Structure 1
C-alpha cells in the first residue's frame, strides 16, 4: 500500500507546492498575491485549515515577516510574492535574512512558459531573475512541471537547513501554478551530515587554551543552538563570552561571563587566545580594528568557507554545539587555565558604569528591559536606540534579540517584528524604531490590525535620520542634505489605522504606558519625542580606540 507521501494525485502546480510545504511541517506563509502566483495563493486559501497565510501591504514586508518568523523561532520562514518588481522589492529582506543565517524560502513566479527567455516584455519580466535569486541566497531553482514541485521543495528545505542556514528560492512560470498534472508527493530529505569532529584540531586548541592567561570567547548567529555547550566551555575556561549582535543571549547577560562588546573591549588588549564560534568576527578588523600582540585564534564554524576568511592557529569545521562540547572536554583533560574572576567582574562593572553616558537612549532601554518579560522579544532598528541596544540592552535567551546583522538594513525592524509576533502570538514582542526607519513600512500598521498582531511599537522621533544628521554636522561642516525629516503626527497616524497610540517624552512616562501596552490585546504604538540632535553618540563603544 502506498503511504500518503508516495500517493499519486492530480494537482495544480500551486497545490503541489502547498502539499510540499505541508509535508515539511510549514503552518505559516507570508504572501502578497498577484497575477503570476494566483494559482499558489488560491491553493493556500483552500488549505487555510492547515496553513495560516498573512497578507501585507508591500512585498518587502512579506519577506521581512518570514525573516522575523525564522530568526526568532529557528523554524523555516516562507513567503511568496510576484516576480520582477515584487521579488526585487523583497530582495532587501532576503539579503538581510541570508546575512543573519535565517532559514527562509522565497516562492515566486515568472513569465508564461511560452514567453520565457524571449524578452517579449510580458508583465513583470525580469531578465536572469534566477541568477539574481541565486545571488542573494544559498540556492535557487526553476520548477518546470507540477510533477517536479515536491522534489524541488524537498531540495529547497534540505539546502536551506543544512550546514549554515540561509535563504533559498523557487520560481515557476505563470501558467505552472494552475496547470494540472499527476504528482507524487516527496518525503523530506535528510539534512546533509555535519562534519565529523577533527580530534587532532580539538587537542591542538585545548593545548593553546590550557596555557592561556586571558582567553575570550566570541559567538555569533552560528552559536544560537549551542547555548548549553558554549556555557560549559566558558565555565571550564573561566572566559568571558562576547557577542556583537547575532549571538546575544547565547550566554545570558546576567551570567558573570556574559559580556557585551563594551565589556569585552575592556579585556581585549590583554587577550591571548580568542575562541570564535559561529561568527564572522567582524570585531577583529572592522569594529575594534586592533589585534593584541601574540593573539592566537581558534575558530569553530560549520561553514568551511568562513574559517578560511581569517587566518587562525586552529580551524575546526564543525557544528557549534559539537565543537564547543568537544573543546570543553579536551580542556578539562589538558588542564583548564587559571580563572580570573575578579578581573572579569571589574571589566563588567566598569563597562556598565561607562555606558551610562549614552543618554537618553540607555534610560529608555532600561525601562523597556524592566517591563519586557524575560522571555519577550526585542526587535531593534537602525537608530540611535538600536545602536545603543547592542551594548546597552541585556539579553537573557538566544533568539530573543532580533537584529539585521551586518547588513544594517534601515527600515527592517517594524515589519520584521510583525513576523516575530506571528511566530510567538503568546509572547511579548516590542519593536523599537527611529522615525526614519519606521516610515519605510509604516503602512503595515494595517497588517497588524487586520491580523490582530498585538505588537508594541515604540517610535523614537527626533525628526531626523539621526546618525546621518550627526555625521553631516561633525564630519562635513554641518552641510545637511536629506537628514532632516518632516513627519506626520504619529499618534493620529496610528489611530487612523485603528491602532491605540500614546506620546511620551521621558523614560518615567514610558514605563506605565509600556506596562499597559504589553497587557493589551491589540497593536499599540508609542511615540517617544526626542529633540533633533539630542541623542548621545553610542559609537565610542561600537568603534572603540585602543592604545598600542
Structure 2
C-alpha cells in the first residue's frame, strides 16, 4: 500500500505490537502525530524529552518490552540524549524515533529549524544501533531491525532517524510480509555445561552472583532451584536485586561491602558462578570483591565475560538457558552440594545488615517496604536514601527495583516511575527522590496528573547535594562549595500542580501516608525532612 512517511512509522509500530509511545510533538514530527490520531497506540505527553526518555526506560525495565520515544530534530535529540545514555549503561531496550531536516540539507548548517551538525552521529555514540530511513519504503524494515537489536542479545537502546522529506513523502510499504522480531537467546554449549558440572562437583562452598542479566532473562525460578541444590549463597548487584527473592534463606542480596561479614563469607567460597553481571567498578568497589579464583561467568554479551575478573570458564549464553541446562545436567548426575547451612547465612545476613552503610536510616526503607505490596515497584533516583536502599530495601520479585546505576544521572525516578505505571497500571509504583534530583524533572508531575497516575513520590529533603558534600568532606578538607540548596516550598509546589501533599516526621507516618497515596488516582508528594551526617 502507498502511504505517507508518518503513516509508515505508525503502522509499522502497530504491526510490531507497540501499545504506547512517549514524546512531545513538534512541527517536524507532525506527520507521525497525524497518523497517531487514528491509531490505537496510546501517546503519553511528556514535558521534556529527557523525561520522555526516562519514561520509555521505566516502561522497558518493568515490562521487558521496548519502550518507545518520539522526539523532534536537534534539541529533541540532544534533550533525550541523557536518558539514552542511561538506558545504554543499564542495558534497557529503548527505541528512539526522531525526525531530521531534509536529507539534502543535512550537515550543511544552512539555518533550517532545529538544524544539527551530525544528529545521527550523536545517537550512534549513545546506542547499540542507529540508522536513517532514506525512503518511505525503508521505514518498516529499519524499525523492525531497531526492535530486534533492542531486545536481542544484551538489551540496549536503538534509534531510527526519519528525515522530513521521508516523513512528508509517500512510498509503498508491505507490512504483511514484515517479519516480527524475536529475542535471540544464545544457548550454552554441552561442553561448557560439562565443564561447569565438573567444577561444581569439585567444590564445597559455592556463590551465585547475580546481575541485571539474571533479571532480564527471567531466570528467578531456575536460580532459586540451583541455589537450593548447591547449598549456595546468593549475592546480587544493584541491577540484580530481585533476581532471587531477598527473603529466600540463601539470598544475601546486595549486602557485600569490603571487610564486612559477607566479605568474610565470600573468602570461604571455592567456586563463584556469575550470572549476567559485568562485575563493574561500582558493584565490586573497584575490584575489591573477593571472588574465588575458580569462577564461571555466564553472560549473553561475549565482550563482557573475559573482562574484569577473568573466569576459569566463560559461557556466552542467556542466563536462564544456562541455569536450566546446568540444573538438568546436575539432576541427571544426582549432584547435590552441602554448602552453607541456612543458619550460617542468616547469621551472616543479620550481622551485615547491622553494619551496612546507612543502617541508621534503615527504618525509613523498612517503612517503604511495609507499605508496598510484594510486587510493588520502587523507582529510585540518585539520592542518599536510595543508596541506603540498595543495601537495606529487600526486593522480592524481578523488575520491581529500578535504579540508574551505570550512568548515574539525577532526575530519573519520577519520569521512570510514570513509565513503570503505564506498563503496569494495576501495580503499586513509588518514586523515591531527593530534593536536588527531583528538581531535574519535576515538571513531569504534570504528565502524572494529566494521565491520572496514582504514584506516591517520597521526597527526602535535606536541602543539599549531600553525596557531593560528603565527598568534599572526605577528600577536600570540608571545603564546601555549590552543594547547599535553596529549595522551593515543596508543599506549595504540589498545590500548584493540584496534587495532595504531606510532610511526615516518622517512618510510621510515612508508611501510613504511602498507603493512603496508593488509593488515589493522582500523584501524592510525601516530603520527609531529614539530615545526613557529613
Specify the TM-score bucket, using the shorter chain as the normaliser: over 0.9
1:222 aligns with 2:213: yes
> How many pairs were matched up?
523
Q: Secondary structure at the match of 1:262?
A: coil
Deviations 1:29-60 (A, max 9, x none): 0011112111112211221xx11101111000
SS in 2 for 1:460: strand
Could you give the per-residue CA deviations for residues 478-517 of structure 1, whole angstroms, max 9, x where no partner exists?
Answer: 2111110010000100110111111112212212212111
Secondary structure of 1:432's match?
strand
Give the structure 2 partner of residue 546 of structure 1: none
* Structure 1 residue 473, shift from structure 2 partner: 2.1
Matches within 5 A, 1:271-286: 271-282=269-280, 286=284
Quote the residue 1:297 is aligned against.
295
**Contact 2:22–2:69 (8 Å) recurs in 1:** yes
Q: Given the two structures, how large is their TM-score scaled by the length of structure 2? A: 0.94
More moved, 499-508 vs 393-402 = 499-508
1:99 equivalenced with 2:89 (yes/no): yes
- Structure 2 equivalent of residue 177 of structure 1: 167
Contact between 1:382 and 1:437, CA under 8 Å: does it hold in 2?
Answer: yes
Paired with 1:151 and 1:347, the residues of 2 have a C-alpha distance of: 53
**Matched-pair contact (CA < 8 Å) for 2:414–2:441:** yes
Helix, strand or coil for the counterpart of 1:519? coil
- Higher mean alpha-carbon deviation, 161-170 vs 209-218, is at 209-218
Work out whether residues 209 and 331 of structure 1, in 8 Å CA contact, stay in contact via their aligned partners in 2. no
Shift of 1:283: 6.1
State the distance in 2 between where 1:193 and 1:497 align: 44
Give the CA deviation at 1:274: 1.1
- 1:78-117 CA-to-partner distances (Å, cap 9, x unmatched) read 0011122211111111111122221111000111233123
Q: Secondary structure at the match of 2:360?
A: coil
CA 123–237 in structure 1, closer or farther in 2 if over 3 Å, else same:
same
Whether 1:501 aligns to 2:501 is: yes
Distance, in Å, in 1 between the alignment partners of 2:436 and 2:397 is 29
Give CA deviations for 1:118-145 in whole Å, capped at 9, x if unaligned. 3323222222221221221110110011
1:35-434 map, 5 Å:
35-47=27-39, 50-185=40-175, 186-191=177-182, 193-224=184-215, 225-262=218-255, 264-282=262-280, 286-287=284-285, 289-290=287-288, 292=290, 295-310=293-308, 311-332=310-331, 333=333, 335-341=335-341, 342-355=343-356, 358-360=359-361, 362-434=362-434
- The answer to whether the 8 A contact 1:270-1:292 is kept is no
Cross-structure match for 1:11: 3
- Normalised to the residue count of structure 1, the TM-score between the two structures is 0.92
3-state SS in 2 of match to 1:522: coil
- 1:293–1:79 CA distance, 2 compared to 1 (3 A): closer
Which moves more between the two structures, 376-385 or 191-200?
A: 191-200
Alignment check: 8 A CA contact 2:252 2:345 kept: no
Alignment check: 8 A CA contact 2:235 2:255 kept: no
- CA apart distance, 1:454: 1.4
Moved over 6 A (4+): none
Q: Name the stretch that deviates more: 17-26 or 340-349.
A: 340-349
Partner residue in 2 for 1:5: none
The answer to whether residue 491 in structure 2 is matched with residue 491 in structure 1 is: yes
Q: 2:16 aligns with which of 24, 29, 38?
A: 24
- What displacement does 1:190 show? 4.3
User: Do the aligned partners of 1:44 and 1:51 also contact (CA within 8 Å) in 2?
Assistant: yes
Tell me the alpha carbon deviations over residues 212-250 of structure 1, each in whole angstroms, 9 at most, x when there is no partner: 222111111111111111112111111122112111111
Secondary structure at the counterpart of residue 71 of structure 1:
helix
RMSD between aligned alpha carbons?
Answer: 1.8
Unaligned runs of 5+ in 2: 257-261
Looking at structure 1, the residues matched to 35 and 324 of structure 2 have their Cα atoms a distance apart, in angstroms, of 45
CA distance in 2, matches of 1:116, 1:292: 52
2: distance between equivalents of 1:192 and 1:512? 42
Structure 1 residues 536 and 351, CA gap change in structure 2 (3 angstroms): farther
Q: Against the structure 1 CA distance between its residues 460 and 70, is the aligned structure 2 distance closer, same or farther, given a 3 Å change threshold?
A: same
CA separation of 1:168/1:369 partners in 2, compared to 1, >3 Å: closer, same or farther? same
Secondary structure at 2:363's aligned position in 1?
helix
CA distance in structure 1 between the partners assigned to 2:357 and 2:158 by the alignment: 42
1:6 is matched with none
Q: Determine the C-alpha separation between the residues in 1 that align with 2:281 and 2:117.
A: 38
In 2 relative to 1, CA 293–129 (structure 1 residues): closer, same or farther, beyond 3 Å?
closer
Q: Contact conserved, 1:75 with 1:103, CA < 8 A, in 2? A: yes
